[in-house]
């Protein structure tokens, strides 16, 4: 608490305005129509302003048994993707009188340990990315209303899920590369266990399986430029015919792959076409600009918050995946 004097309470305001504490609560809680006269209400408001009164949230939360605060559990914020998810969620939340507290999994890769020890705030609900899924047990233990982002709709133990249509995105990537004439593919996969990445692998393999004469190899890498660089370098140094198309699980991996390709003395897209997924700012910062799948992160966050509000009010959350779209840029071309 502040040094020196203590913060004014509703009782202090009441005394200053010459009314009871209950009247202050009524007026400031906007529930005074027909209970307090207008002049008195004004006196209370003036006194509150004068004293710089701020309600004690701990007391209010205790009294009401709810906090109007929700937790957003995300992997580390090393790209703007989850920052935008937060923006969308926070906007919707604010419109409904809720606040959003962010819990970024500390090291980016490892799962969140105990979001409730760290985010000391008491919570009404949780929105969690499947990339931080290990927090799930603690959350379920608390019986908190839960919405999962990009998570297996079947395996989420009844929690509501909000998903991007990643499968469709991967299909579009595959179709685009196939149409260009590519037949030999390398998949640079994120080596984080998460449903969203499983979908990429499954859908890519399934789409290519429909086309006779295609080849698909897969390598894993941690989601970082360094990690992708090393994995791609190793793959390019491997014996055998070089693939002509490199499908990356996200834009950051693609940026790392670019570096490996340059170091190997090859060029994008002449020697190797590359695709990403996310459409971060990074996608247009690298040269050539990256063909990638655009995800609407803000809409994702909005939808997540809407779903959580629905759960909190006992309504069924909206169904259906969020659409994504392929953005074709300079990193893909027909094989030589």
Contact set with DNA (CB under 7 A)? 6-7, 9-11, 18-23, 25-26, 28-29, 31, 34-37, 39-40, 53, 55-56, 59-60, 62-65
Task: Give, as ranges, the residues between 182 and 221 that touch a second copy (CB under 8 A).
Answer: none
In the complex, the smallest distance separating the C-beta of residue 42 from DNA, rounded to whole angstroms, is 10
26 binds, options DNA, a second copy, none, Cβ within 5 to 8 A by partner type: DNA
Give the CA distances from residue 269 to residues 167, 177, 258, in Å, rounded to whole numbers and listed in that order. 24, 12, 10
CA distance 314 to 49: 37
Closest CA to 116 of 64, 83, 69, 58: 69
Angle 54-66-113 (CA atoms, 0-180°, nearest 5)? 105
CA distance 334 to 269: 8
In the complex, the smallest distance separating the C-beta of residue 199 from DNA, rounded to whole angstroms, is 41
User: Which C-beta is closer to DNA: that of 6 or that of 336?
Assistant: 6
In the complex, the smallest distance separating the C-beta of residue 306 from a second copy, rounded to whole angstroms, is 18
Which tokens is 83 given? 């920052």
- The continuous run of DSSP H or E covering 75 comes out as none
User: Which C-beta is closer to DNA: that of 62 or that of 234?
Assistant: 62
259 binds, options a second copy, DNA, none, Cβ within 5 to 8 A by partner type: a second copy
Residue 265 binding a second copy, by CB under 8 A: no
Per rule CB under 8 A, count of chain residues that contact a second copy: 66
User: Which C-beta is closer to DNA: that of 37 or that of 206?
Assistant: 37
126 contacts 70 by C-beta, under 8 angstroms: yes
Residue 310 binding a second copy, by CB under 8 A: no
Among the listed residues 30, 34, 38, 141, the single contact to a second copy using CB under 8 A = 141
In the complex, the smallest distance separating the C-beta of residue 17 from DNA, rounded to whole angstroms, is 9
224 binds, options a second copy, DNA, none, Cβ within 5 to 8 A by partner type: a second copy
34 binds, options a second copy, DNA, none, Cβ within 5 to 8 A by partner type: DNA
Instruction: Give φ, ψ of 78 to 5 degrees.
Output: -90, -5
CA distance 289 to 282: 9
CA distance 243 to 325: 25
CA distance 208 to 243: 14
Give the CA distances from residue 198 to residues 17, 188, 191, 204, 205, in Å, rounded to whole numbers and listed in that order. 63, 12, 10, 10, 11
Residues at the contact surface with a second copy, assessed by CB under 8 A: 1-4, 7, 52, 54, 56-59, 61-62, 65-69, 76-80, 82-83, 86-87, 90-91, 93-94, 98-102, 104, 106-107, 116-122, 141-145, 224-225, 252, 255-256, 258-259, 262, 281-282, 284-287, 314
């Amino acid at each position: 608490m502040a040094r020196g004097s203590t913060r004014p309470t509703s009782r202090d305001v009441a005394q200053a305005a010459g009314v009871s504490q209950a009247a202050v609560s009524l007026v400031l809680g906007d529930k005074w129509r027909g209970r307090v006269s207008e002049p008195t209400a004004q006196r209370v408001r003036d006194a509150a302003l004068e004293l710089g009164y701020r309600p004690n949230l701990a007391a209010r939360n205790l009294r009401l048994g709810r906090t109007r605060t929700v937790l957003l559990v995300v992997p580390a914020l090393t790209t703007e993707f989850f920052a935008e998810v937060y923006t969308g969620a926070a906007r919707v939340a604010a419109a409904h009188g809720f606040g959003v507290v962010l819990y970024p999994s500390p090291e980016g890769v490892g799962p969140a340990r105990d979001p409730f020890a760290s985010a000391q705030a008491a919570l009404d609900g949780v929105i969690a990315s499947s990339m931080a899924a290990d927090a799930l047990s603690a959350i379920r233990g608390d019986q908190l209303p839960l919405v999962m982002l990009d998570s297996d709709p079947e395996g989420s133990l009844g929690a509501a899920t909000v998903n991007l249509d990643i499968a469709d995105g991967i299909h579009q990537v595959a179709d685009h590369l196939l149409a260009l004439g590519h037949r030999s593919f390398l998949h640079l996969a994120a080596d984080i266990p998460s449903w969203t990445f499983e979908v990429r692998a499954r859908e890519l393999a399934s789409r290519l399986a429909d086309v006779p004469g295609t080849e698909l190899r897969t390598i894993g890498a941690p989601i970082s430029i360094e990690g992708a660089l090393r994995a791609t370098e190793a793959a390019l140094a491997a014996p055998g015919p070089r693939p002509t198309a490199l499908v990356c699980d996200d834009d950051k991996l693609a940026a790392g792959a670019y570096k490996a390709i340059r170091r190997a003395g090859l060029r994008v897209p002449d020697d190797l076409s590359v695709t990403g997924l996310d459409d971060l700012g990074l996608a247009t910062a690298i040269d050539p600009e990256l063909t990638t799948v655009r995800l609407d992160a803000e809409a994702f966050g909005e939808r997540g918050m809407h779903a959580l509000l629905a759960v909190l009010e006992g309504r069924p959350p909206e169904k259906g995946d969020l659409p994504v779209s392929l953005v074709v840029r300079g990193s893909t071309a027909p094989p030589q």
